[in-house]
Amino acid sequence: MQFFLDNIDLFRDAFLNTLGLTFFAGVLALVLGTVLAGMRVSPIAPLRGLATTYVEIFRNTPLTVVFFFVIFGLPQIDTVLPFFAGAVVAVGTYTAAFVAEAIRSGINSVAPGQAEAARALGLTFSQTLTTVVLPQAFRTVVPPLGSVLIAMAKNTSIAAGFSISEVSSLLARLTNADPNDLLFILLGVVLAYMVITVPAAIALNRIEHRVAILR
C-alpha cells in the first residue's frame, strides 16, 4: 500500500495519458472509420478502391508496425508529428479500419427495402446513406463498435514503446526502480486498465440491450 502512495502521482499521470490517448484516438477512429465505410459503398470506383486498400492494409498489419511508420516513417516524407499526436494517429488510423468494417457490416444488415424506399422518395445517395441507412446501421453496430473501442483502449499500451508515458510504461519504469514491488506494480497497472474497460463493457451491455432490434 505504501508503495502505491509513493507512486500515486506517477499512476495518475500515466492513467490520464492512457485516457487522453484513448479519447482522441477513439474520435479519430470513429470519424475516419465512418468516412471509409461510406467510401466503400460509394459509386465512385477509385474511392472504393482506396478505402478497401486502406482497410486491408491496416487490418492486417500489427499495430506496432503502424506505430513505426507513423513515428519514424512519416519523417521520410518530410512530415514530423509531435509524439503524442503521432500516437493518436497510429492508434486512430489503425482502429479506423476495424470501425469501417463494423459499420460496413452494419450497413449491409439494414434491410434493402429501407434504401429502396428512400430512393423511391427521391433521396440522393448521400441523403439515403446519412438519413436512412446509417442511423439504422449504427444501432446494429453498437456491440461490435463497442468491442472495437474497448480493444483500442487496451491497444494504447503499445504507445509505451514509442515515448508515451502511459500506464504500461510504468511496468518498465518501476520494475527497474523497485524489483521487489513487481507484483504491486502489475496489480496497479491491471487495475488502471480495468477502471477503463470494465465499466465500458458494462455500459456497452446495457446499450446493447436497449437498442437491440430484432430482424
Partner 1 sequence: MSSLVLFDVPGPKAKRRQLIGTVVGGVLVLALLAVILWRLNGNGQLDPARWAILFDPAAGVPQAFGSALLLTLRIAAVAMVTSTVLGLLLAVGRLSDHRWLRIPVTTVIEFFRAIPLLVVIFALYFVLPGFGVSLSAFAALVGGLTLYNMAVLAEIFRAGILSVDKGQREAAYALGMRKTQVMTLVLLPQAIRRMLPVLIAQLVVLLKDTSLGFIIGVFELLRQARSLVEFFNSRFGDIYTFQLYVGAAVIYIVINIALSQVAKLVEKRTRSSAKAAGAAPPSLATSTIGTGVQRGAEPSF
Partner 2 sequence: MRLPSRPARYAAAVAAFGVVLAGCSSEAGQQAEEQADNTVAVETDVDFEAGTTMAELAEAGTMTVGVKFDQPGFGLLNPSGDPEGFDVQIATIIAANLGIAPEDIEFVESVSANREPFIQNGTVDIVVATYTINDARKQIVDFAGPYYVAGQDIMVAAGNPEGIEGPDDLAGKNVCSVEGSTPAQNIRDNYPEATLTLFDVYSKCADALNNGQVDAVTTDNVILTGLVASNPDGFELVGNPFTEEPYGIGLSLGDTQFRTFINETLEASFEDGSWAQAWDSTAGAITGEDAPEPPTIDDY
DSSP result, 75-103: GGGT----HHHHHHHHHHHHHHHHHHHHH
Measured from the CB of residue 168, what is the shortest distance to partner 2 in angstroms?
A: 10
Measured from the CB of residue 60, what is the shortest distance to partner 1 in angstroms?
A: 4
Cα–Cα distance, 148 to 8 (Å, whole number): 30
Q: Decide if 107 contacts 41 (C-beta within 8 A).
A: yes
Site string for partner 1, 28-57 (x = CB under 8 A): ------------xxxxxxxx-xx-----xx
For CA atoms 92, 96, 97, 99, give the dihedral sign.
positive
Residue 48 binds partner 2, judged by CB under 8 A: no
Q: Decide if 58 contacts 93 (C-beta within 8 A).
A: yes
The span of 8-16, 19-27, 61-69, 82-90 binding partner 1 (CB under 8 A) equals: 61-69
Measured from the CB of residue 157, what is the shortest distance to partner 2 in angstroms?
A: 12
Residue 164 binds partner 1, judged by CB under 8 A: no
Measured from the CB of residue 173, what is the shortest distance to partner 2 in angstroms?
A: 5
- φ and ψ at 28, to 5 degrees? -60, -45
Q: Which is nearer to partner 2, 80 or 214 (CB)?
A: 80
Residue 184 binds partner 2, judged by CB under 8 A: no
Decide: residue 170, CB within 10 A, 0-12 exposed, 13-18 middle, 19+ buried.
Answer: buried
Residue 175 binds partner 2, judged by CB under 8 A: yes
Where on the chain is the footprint of partner 2 (CB under 8 A)? 71-72, 75, 80, 83, 160-163, 165, 169, 172-173, 175-177, 179
